[in-house]
């Protein structure tokens, strides 16, 4: 698993909110579950370079600030800012996250098969112009 660093390509071109197209973001109440699922994905053949483990502090420090201007000068047309606000609420409660490259539905389903073995709080797949609930 990689250390998370927010990259320009992970932001929406309109408003600048967190929008990592081609990835899925999953948050877990227990950080140990997030780490365990990340390792499990690697054991199932996913590249460690395609998985980021984000402690709650990282979500709050790196991702949450991307919504400060997302609704300026007009409210966001999409749900990207609202989704980040949901991440903020969970991170403030101590939830950890995995950001996993899921280029297609098959990769997302493979990831979710493992994710569903533990309690998770939110799972979103970022596609072009669509944030999909998983």
* pLDDT at position 69: 55
pLDDT tier at 80, thresholds 50, 70, 90? confident
Model confidence pTM above 0.85: yes
- Domain span at residue 75 reads 2-133
Q: Is the pLDDT of residue 68 over 60?
A: yes
* Closest among 20, 41, 52 to 116, alpha carbons compared: 41
User: What does the pLDDT look like over 21-59, one tens digit per residue?
Assistant: 999 999 999 999 999 999 999 999 999 999 999 999 999
Which residue is listed with tokens 């483990």? 53
Residue 71 has pLDDT above 80, yes or no: no
Rg (CA), the chain: 14
pLDDT at 91: 98
Element (H, E) at 24: strand 23-28
Q: List CB contacts of 84: < 8 A, sequence separation 6 or more.
A: 17, 18, 63, 64, 66, 67, 70
CA–CA–CA angle 98, 101, 102 (5° rounding)? 110
pLDDT tens digit string along 91-104? 999 999 999 999 99
Into how many domains does the chain fold? 1
């Amino acid at each position: 698993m990689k250390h998370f660093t927010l990259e320009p390509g992970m932001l929406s071109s309109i408003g600048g909110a967190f929008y990592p197209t081609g990835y899925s973001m999953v948050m877990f109440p227990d950080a140990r579950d997030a780490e365990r699922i990340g390792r499990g994905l690697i054991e199932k053949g996913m590249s460690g370079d395609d998985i980021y483990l984000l402690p709650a502090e990282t979500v709050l420090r790196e991702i949450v600030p991307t919504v400060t201007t997302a609704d300026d000068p007009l409210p966001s047309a999409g749900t990207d800012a609202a989704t980040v606000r949901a991440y903020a609420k969970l991170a403030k409660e101590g939830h950890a996250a995995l950001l996993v490259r899921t280029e297609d539905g098959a990769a997302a389903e493979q990831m979710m098969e493992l994710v569903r073995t533990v309690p998770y709080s939110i799972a979103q797949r970022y596609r072009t112009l669509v944030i999909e609930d998983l």
